[in-house]
């Protein structure tokens, strides 16, 4: 019988044999930069590194790029600062395709009911507006929705068709000539020692060797390296946050299963779609049905974003498959409630339910610096960091996860150190699992901010490879210079 000590002694041999076997089955792939995860951050990281001249391999477990912003149905970029780099390039490509993208304005909101309206709209509604430009989408901070006139005038965003977004991302990567995209391929395990990753194995048996690895997942790579992970609301003493609880709480930002509705033909009668057997009419998971954020695509379909469909901690407890099945039942009940109680939705039918949950929060990786509520309160004007590589100004926004909320007084910066996991040498973390406190993550988790982080990570990885400088010694000033140089060049070439 094998003892624990014996197993521990021969484990390295077994691991080595397993890796040798995998390598023999399929030739190892080599590159300068390997990016794990093809969501908003992963795409931007891969494109930036490849565009600058590094060889890149991007690994994505799903059949298309974009993650939550495509498969998850979050087909809009909310108002916010910092969308002038990779996001602007993507938008410029999308707007060349008729009917797939546009800038939106806020049309209705439950806080803005007018005397002539029959009922309070059950959430918020956005509609595309051809009279406004992308530049109008680059601010959020201010008095907020409480000041209707200001909010309508200053807060605009971008809405897009998910298939077009995924196709545009893939085309941009292919056009670099230096990025190999592996779809339907999952990360399995990492070969590493003393915080340095030498290779990763994939679900198809392939092995990828790289100089730099960028984790753009929910920390799947960093977790295998033994990085310190943070989950739930941090205690106040951890980061001296005024809005944090005295003791840690297992509360997470809510998760949403998005769905899409399509207009009926003019000659079709009003419709209330029946509920499937076993799905109750009344909301069974809380006191009443949640409000929703409804967005209109350029060609007339709409997405419906419940706020939220499921508590974040419930999602973690059930796991992805069971959580999705339960949320699908909740979507059907929610849509039936909409149609039964709000006349305008009887002119639509349910078209589809998105295949992936929109998960706002799971775990976060502790890095050399943890962005926290004090950074958000200080704003960019008062932060003391000299390594800021991205900016944001979205409010603290928890969707049932508890904690502070509300608009910010100004934009804040995200330091490069938030992308450097502790005790690693050649790994960057980009995306919502980067080094943020729970409160800070509730603000900076949006797609365009994640693209900024990806762009900074890809730029840093290229600078490290091309100059043979360790990631920890790459200067944030140089990252900013390169990003700004590329932005200026692009804007001049595509001035509106």
Which tens digits make up the pLDDT trace of 362-377?
A: 999 999 999 999 999 9
Please give the pLDDT value at position 25.
53
User: For the segment 242-284, what is each residue's pLDDT rounded down to a tens digit?
Assistant: 999 999 999 999 999 999 999 999 999 999 999 999 999 999 9
What percent of the chain clears pLDDT 90, i.e. is strictly above it? 91
290 & 170 share domain: no
347 & 409 share domain: no
Please give the pLDDT value at position 254.
96
User: For the segment 186-221, what is each residue's pLDDT rounded down to a tens digit?
Assistant: 999 999 999 999 999 999 999 999 999 999 999 999
In this model, does residue 491 exceed pLDDT 80? no
Alpha-carbon distance values, 408 to 142, 370, 373, 412 (Å)? 7, 19, 11, 9
Q: Rounded distance, CA 309 to CA 330, Å?
A: 7
Range scoring the smallest mean pLDDT among 137-141, 156-160, 255-259, 399-403: 399-403
b/e sequence 327-340, b meaning 16+ C-beta within 10 Å:
bbbbbbbbbbbbbe
Asked if residue 131 is part of any domain, the answer here is: no
Identify whether the C-beta of residue 145 lies closer than 8 Å to the C-beta of residue 326: no
> By CB neighbour count within 10 A (0-12 exposed, 13-18 middle, 19+ buried), where does 297 fall?
buried
Of the pLDDT bands very low, low, confident and very high (cuts 50, 70, 90), residue 5 is: very low
88 & 214 share domain: yes
366 & 355 share domain: no
In this model, does residue 20 exceed pLDDT 50? no
Asked if residue 390 is part of any domain, the answer here is: yes
User: For the segment 34-77, what is each residue's pLDDT rounded down to a tens digit?
Assistant: 999 999 999 999 999 999 999 999 999 999 999 999 999 999 99
Residue 278 zone, left/alpha/beta (φ > 0; ψ -120 to 50; rest): left
285 lies in which domain range? 255-359
Mean pLDDT of 343-347: 97
225 & 316 share domain: no
In this model, does residue 13 exceed pLDDT 90? no
Domains in the chain: how many in total? 2
Asked if residue 438 is part of any domain, the answer here is: yes
Of the pLDDT bands very low, low, confident and very high (cuts 50, 70, 90), residue 493 is: low
In this model, does residue 337 exceed pLDDT 70? yes
Please give the pLDDT value at position 401.
80
198 & 347 share domain: no
Asked if residue 240 is part of any domain, the answer here is: no
- At which of 325, 359, 393 does a domain end? 359
- At which of 328, 359, 390 does a domain end? 359
Q: Rounded distance, CA 209 to CA 220, Å?
A: 17
Asked if residue 122 is part of any domain, the answer here is: no
Of the pLDDT bands very low, low, confident and very high (cuts 50, 70, 90), residue 291 is: very high
- At which of 338, 359, 380 does a domain end? 359
**319: Cβ contacts below 8 Å, ≥ 6 apart:** none
**475: Cβ contacts below 8 Å, ≥ 6 apart:** none
Asked if residue 226 is part of any domain, the answer here is: yes
344 & 427 share domain: no
What percent of the chain clears pLDDT 70, i.e. is strictly above it? 93
182 & 80 share domain: yes
Residue 440 DSSP SS3? helix
472 & 384 share domain: yes
Maximum Cα–Cα distance for the chain, whole Å? 80
343 & 488 share domain: no
SS3 percent helix, strand, coil of the chain, rounded to 5, is: 35, 25, 40
User: For the segment 425-478, what is each residue's pLDDT rounded down to a tens digit?
Assistant: 999 999 999 999 999 999 999 999 999 999 999 999 999 999 999 999 999 999
Question: Average pLDDT, whole number, for the chain?
Answer: 93
Listed residue (402, 435, 395, 370) closest to 249, CA to CA: 402
85 & 209 share domain: yes
Question: Please, how many CA atoms are within 13 Å of residue 66, restricted to the half-sphere of its CB?
Answer: 27
Asked if residue 372 is part of any domain, the answer here is: yes
Asked if residue 248 is part of any domain, the answer here is: no
b/e sequence 202-212, b meaning 16+ C-beta within 10 Å:
beeebbbbbbb
In this model, does residue 23 exceed pLDDT 50? no
Three-state secondary structure along 135-171? HHHCCCCCCCCCCHHHHHHHCCEEEECHHHHHHHHHH
In this model, does residue 480 exceed pLDDT 70? yes
First to last CA, the chain: 73
**Is the bond leading into 308 cis (omega within 30 degrees of zero)?**
yes
282 & 206 share domain: no
In this model, does residue 402 exceed pLDDT 90? no
Please give the pLDDT value at position 495.
61
Q: Which residue has the higher pLDDT, 11 or 154?
A: 154
Identify whether the C-beta of residue 457 lies closer than 8 Å to the C-beta of residue 411: no
């Amino acid at each position: 019988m094998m003892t624990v000590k014996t197993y521990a002694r021969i484990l390295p041999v077994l691991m080595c044999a397993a890796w040798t076997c995998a390598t023999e089955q399929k030739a190892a792939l080599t590159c300068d930069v390997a990016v794990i995860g093809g969501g908003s951050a992963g795409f931007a990281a891969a494109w930036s590194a490849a565009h600058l001249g590094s060889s890149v391999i991007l690994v994505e477990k799903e059949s298309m790029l974009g993650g939550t912003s495509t498969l998850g149905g979050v087909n809009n970029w909310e108002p916010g600062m910092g969308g002038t780099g990779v996001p602007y390039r993507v938008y410029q490509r999308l707007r060349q395709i008729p009917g797939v993208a546009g800038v939106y304005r806020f049309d209705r909101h439950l806080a803005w009911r007018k005397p002539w309206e029959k009922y309070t709209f059950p959430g918020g509604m956005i509609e595309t507006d051809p009279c406004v430009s992308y530049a109008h989408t680059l601010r959020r901070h201010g008095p907020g929705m409480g000041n209707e006139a200001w909010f309508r005038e200053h807060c605009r965003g971008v809405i897009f068709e998910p298939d077009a977004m995924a196709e545009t991302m893939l085309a941009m990567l292919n056009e670099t000539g230096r990025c190999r995209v592996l779809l339907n391929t999952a990360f399995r395990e990492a070969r590493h020692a003393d915080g340095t990753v030498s290779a990763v194995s994939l679900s198809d048996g392939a092995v990828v060797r790289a100089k730099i690895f960028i984790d753009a997942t929910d920390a799947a790579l960093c977790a295998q390296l033994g990085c310190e992970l943070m989950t739930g609301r941090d205690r106040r003493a951890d980061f001296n946050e005024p809005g944090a609880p005295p003791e840690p709480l297992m509360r997470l930002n809510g998760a949403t299963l998005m769905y899409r509705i399509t207009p009926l033909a003019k000659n079709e009668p009003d419709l209330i779609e029946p509920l499937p057997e076993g799905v109750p009419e009344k909301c069974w998971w809380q006191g009443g049905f949640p409000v929703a954020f409804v967005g209109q695509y350029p060609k007339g379909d709409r997405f419906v974003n419940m706020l939220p469909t499921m508590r974040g901690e419930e999602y973690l407890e059930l796991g992805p498959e069971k959580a999705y099945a339960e949320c699908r039942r909740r979507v059907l009940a929610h849509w039936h409630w909409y149609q039964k109680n709000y006349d305008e939705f009887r002119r639509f039918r349910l078209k589809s339910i998105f295949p992936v949950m929109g998960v706002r929060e799971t775990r976060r990786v502790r890095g050399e610096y943890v962005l926290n509520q004090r950074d958000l309160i200080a704003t960019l004007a008062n932060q003391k960091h000299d390594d800021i590589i991205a900016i944001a100004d979205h409010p603290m926004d928890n969707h049932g996860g508890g904690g502070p909320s509300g608009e910010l007084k100004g934009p804040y910066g995200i330091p490069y150190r938030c992308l450097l996991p502790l005790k690693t040498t050649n790994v960057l973390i980009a995306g919502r699992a980067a080094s943020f406190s729970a409160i800070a993550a509730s603000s900076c988790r949006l797609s365009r901010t994640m693209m900024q982080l990806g762009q900074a990570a890809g730029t840093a990885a290229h600078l490290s490879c091309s100059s043979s400088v360790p990631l920890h010694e790459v200067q944030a000033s140089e990252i900013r210079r390169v990003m700004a140089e590329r932005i200026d060049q692009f804007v001049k070439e595509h001035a509106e």
